[in-house]
Structure 1
């Protein structure tokens, strides 16, 4: 497995890729796709994060990896504690097939927008359909942190960053802060 570079908003070339709509995976889940998902998972763990879309490592494919640890995936908040066991999840060609009208606000962050956090309001519950790591079709309900994370990562597949849900002023300030931090590093 290889840790890949995560694209960030402070780099114009990276931002252009992050804004692309990802292509559906054709032909099912192959060993090459599993290798990509394994790389993505290692990259996410190293960052560290709880979700990563393929576009964030420069692959414009409709693939997401996620690990909420031993947290209840439908709880609103992560459970504080020591090192959590790994519970990787893989989503190929995910689609949201239903959204609740009820909304839920959560302070989100993003590996492509480092050190920036802000509240984003999203549907509180969704039903998601996807292909698993083994290529099996899965359909399941998501609430709480799981619902937030899957919607956040699926936004990436559409070329949308969480800061795109903020006001223009907040979005511009976030990008400026990331650029400033990158120059300082």
Structure 2
């Protein structure tokens, strides 16, 4: 089932999310719904806070970047990069910071260059609650870092400079009020009723 994605301005996006136990209610269904919601919105990652749940869970499928189009600069490591991350912990971030234009399903129609370290080591539980640890680099690392920020109550716009943030303020306020067109279901925190 496709779930509504919470828009910028909702307090749930600013909370540090809680860890979950293996007996979390309907976890398998939730994971399936998160993948369906992410695919329906043409995303490559979706964190639980983005659907209104303040829990440490996110899903990723980087394959759209693997096929990355006409310029032939696809990332082959992303071809089979479909994973569920439960209670993840970033063990290490390393390497030179590099810029890439990031967007977010909770902040539609805005994408900005964000600097992030090129490598990450992350420890997490998979959908079977088995412990995993992987080292990632490039776009795979970036996708994980972006989603990990969500479960820590951070957004990619937090990483922008003061001038860029000031320039985006009006657009961000409009998003929180529902004054944006999107091709997927959203929940807007400051939308006036009757619109």
Q: Tell me what 1:20 maps to.
A: 15
Structure 1: runs of 5 or more not aligned: 73-77
**Aligned Cα root-mean-square deviation (Å):** 2.3
Q: Tell me what 2:69 maps to.
A: 80
**Counterparts of 1:96 and 1:121, CA distance in 2:** 17
TM-score (norm 1): 0.83
**Counterparts of 1:90 and 1:175, CA distance in 2:** 33
Q: Tell me what 1:108 maps to.
A: 102
Number of aligned residue pairs: give it: 172
**For the Cα contact (< 8 Å) 1:120–1:166, is it kept in 2?**
yes
Note closer, same or farther for the CA distance 1:164–1:67 as it changes in structure 2 (3 Å cut): same
> After the TM superposition, which residues 121-140 of structure 1 pair with which residues of structure 2 at under 5 Å, given as runs?
121-140=115-134
> After the TM superposition, which residues 1-12 of structure 1 pair with which residues of structure 2 at under 5 Å, given as runs?
2-9=1-8, 12=9
Note closer, same or farther for the CA distance 1:183–1:137 as it changes in structure 2 (3 Å cut): same
Structure 2: runs of 5 or more not aligned: 71-78, 182-195
Note closer, same or farther for the CA distance 1:29–1:50 as it changes in structure 2 (3 Å cut): farther
Residues 127-156 of structure 1: CA deviation (Å, up to 9, x unaligned): 011111121111011101110010000000
> After the TM superposition, which residues 1-185 of structure 1 pair with which residues of structure 2 at under 5 Å, given as runs?
2-9=1-8, 12=9, 14=10, 16-26=11-21, 28=22, 32-69=26-63, 71=65, 79-80=68-69, 88-180=82-174, 182-183=178-179, 185=181
Note closer, same or farther for the CA distance 1:86–1:139 as it changes in structure 2 (3 Å cut): closer
Aligned-partner SS, 2:18:
coil
The farther-off stretch of 93-102 and 170-179 is 170-179
Note closer, same or farther for the CA distance 1:184–1:140 as it changes in structure 2 (3 Å cut): closer
Aligned-partner SS, 1:41:
helix
Q: Tell me what 1:75 maps to.
A: none
Aligned-partner SS, 2:63:
coil
